[in-house]
Chains A and B, each alone.
Chain A
């Protein structure tokens, strides 16, 4: 039996960067040993009444479906309230986002695209589902769907309209294609009528979809 016949994640240039640390490179034999070892451990803990299988299934479910923090909302609110921070964010998003304690990227750079009255930005990953997860958590299902990935490139205004976002004809729409190297985050426009709000209150207004660029931030 060959030990090299496992499909690696390597070479998929559009997604996570290659790391042997993250890919399965075990032989089938080793994998069988580990499967049996873990099953014995689980059986023992269940027999002793230390864990029950329902709790194990629930734990997996919670973490596999964990929506993650919307750290991006705090980044946006800071940029709206602190012009110096906003400038740092536009100059070097990776560093400015790390300032707020959000990291976890594995080699990807963050780029922030600022919406203005003249320009509206929207983010896609045309080939797979590259996504700025340290700031936005897990991608929504529609972000990974072929329909969105293909159509937003050719008909961004139509896609935005489907999300209820109508833009005046003179607004330029820019579509950003994410990759292994670059993850985009949209900095939405701060809505009118929010002048008196605190940074914390502003963060509550910022929805995930606005940071992907398919919607705008609405005043509360």
Chain B
């Protein structure tokens, strides 16, 4: 039976290195700020403040930057890169003003 789904697969099922961290399918948030940062990006995209694809590209760039030479020892965690991407997109769309 295929269930109705509220989550956007474009977000929930991002492929590759930018894929959401999961453990047996469940999202992994280590700290509350990670959850809040996740919610801000998702909520802003839902409202059409930016396209998810734009955020995703910024996230891919931030993750690649953090991984540098060695993907196994990134310079920062996944949601720190997420925050970098969020700030980049907010600045690009001038959502925070000057």
Task: Report A's interface with B, CB cutoff 8 A.
Answer: 9, 15-16, 19-26, 31, 34-35, 37-39, 41-42, 44-45, 48, 50-51, 55-60, 62-64, 66-70, 73, 103-104, 125, 128-131, 133, 136-139, 203-208
CB–CB A59/B42 < 8 A:
yes
Among A9, A50, A69, the residue within 8 A (CB) of B5 is A69
User: A129 — nearest CB in chain B belongs to which residue?
Assistant: B24
**A121–B95 Cα gap in the complex (Å)?**
54
How many residues does chain B have at the interface if contact means C-beta atoms less than 8 Å apart?
52
B36 contact set on A, CB distance < 8 A? 38-39, 42, 56
Contacts of A206 in B (CB 8 A): 1
Report chain A residues within 8 Å CB of B10: none
Q: Known: A37-B83, A44-B96. Contact between A24 and B77, CB under 8 A? A: yes
Point out the residues of chain B lying under 8 angstroms from A59, CB to CB: 38-39, 42-43, 46
Contact A70 B33 (CB under 8 A): no
Check B24–A70 contact: CB distance below 8 A: no
Q: How far is the CA of A174 from the CA of B96 in the complex (A)?
A: 58
B24–A133 CB distance below 8 A? yes
Interface residues of chain B, those whose CB is within 8 Å of chain A, are: 1-3, 5-7, 9, 11-13, 15, 19-28, 30-33, 35-40, 42-44, 46-47, 49, 67, 71-74, 77-78, 80, 83, 86-87, 90, 95-97
A208's nearest neighbour on chain B, judged by CB, is B1
Give chain A nearest CB distance to B39 CB in angstroms: 4
Are A51 and B28 in contact, with the CB atoms below 8 A? no
Q: Give the complex CA separation of A203 and B2 in angstroms.
A: 8
Return B11 CB to nearest CB of chain A, in Å.
7
CA distance A205 to B2 in the complex (A): 9
Min CB gap B59→A, angstroms:
13
CA A104 to CA B12, docked complex, whole Å:
11
> Pick the contact of B38 from A22, A55, A63, A125 — CB < 8 Å?
A63
